[in-house]
Every structure is written in C-alpha cells, then in structure tokens.
Amino acid sequence: MRRTTIAAVAAAAVIAGGAVAVPAMASGSSPTPTPTSSSAPFKGLTDAQQKELCGFLAVHPKAGTALANRLDTWQRFADAHPAVVAELTKVAGMTPDQRKAELKAWAKAHPADAKAWHEFRQQVRDARKERREARKNS
C-alpha cells in the first residue's frame, strides 16, 4: 500500500508537468507553480501524503533527485513547445480511441511539434534503457 501511495503521488507530480519540484513538496512550504507552468495549479499534498513522501525520500534520496531531474526536463520541453502541451492537455480527457485519432490528426497538421514530441519521448526511453542496463551490469 505504501509503494502504491508513493507511486500515485510521484505520478501526480510528473503529470502536473513540473510545476513543483520534489524538494519543495518535501519541505513544509506550500509550493506554487511557475508563471510558465504548463499545468493546472498544484493543490499540494495532504499531511499523510507529505509524511509518506518525506519518509520515502529519506530512505531513497536518489529517487527524489531523479524525479526532480525528470520534472525539470519536462518543464524545459514544455516551455519550448507550448503547442505540444496544449494538445496533450486537450486530449487528456478523451477516450483512448478518440485520443489516438486526435493525436494522429494533430501530428499531420503540426509535423515540427510532433517531431519534437517524438524526439523527447525517445530520449526518455533511451535514458530508461541505459539505466536498466547499468543496473543489470552492476
């Protein structure tokens, strides 16, 4: 249950588009999104979620650093490609079939943005693959 809660909190932070960094969530302060934030305002964590997150980060400090780096990477991409963020926000509430059709149509209409999104996703995949192989070889 604890891992599920932590995973849900981490996923919510990633989905929030980088509006908040992990150290800000773990501190007692109330984080606010940056003016260029690509997502809805961050509503903060409940006390129980914050306690779970702080406990997890105390035991796994590398996870916090990795999540913060991932959020920073997404934020840089989102700031450079607001059209991609707008489209992803638009399709987020659609059913999978609708989302697929809309994204295909959007990609045909916006090839440069679609290429940037594809390259960003490929970089994330490549980085994950490298980390898996490094763990496997160590």
Which tens digits make up the pLDDT trace of 27-75?
444 444 444 444 445 568 899 999 998 899 899 988 889 888 999 999 9
Domain ranges (residues) in the chain: 1-64, 81-138
Give this prediction's pTM: 0.60
Q: Both tokens of residue 66? A: 């990795």
Which tens digits make up the pLDDT trace of 3-23?
555 555 555 554 444 443 444
Residue 25 neighbours by CB under 8 Å, 6+ apart: 13, 31, 45, 50, 53
Chain centre distance of CA 103: 19
Is the pLDDT reported for residue 83 higher than 70? Answer: yes
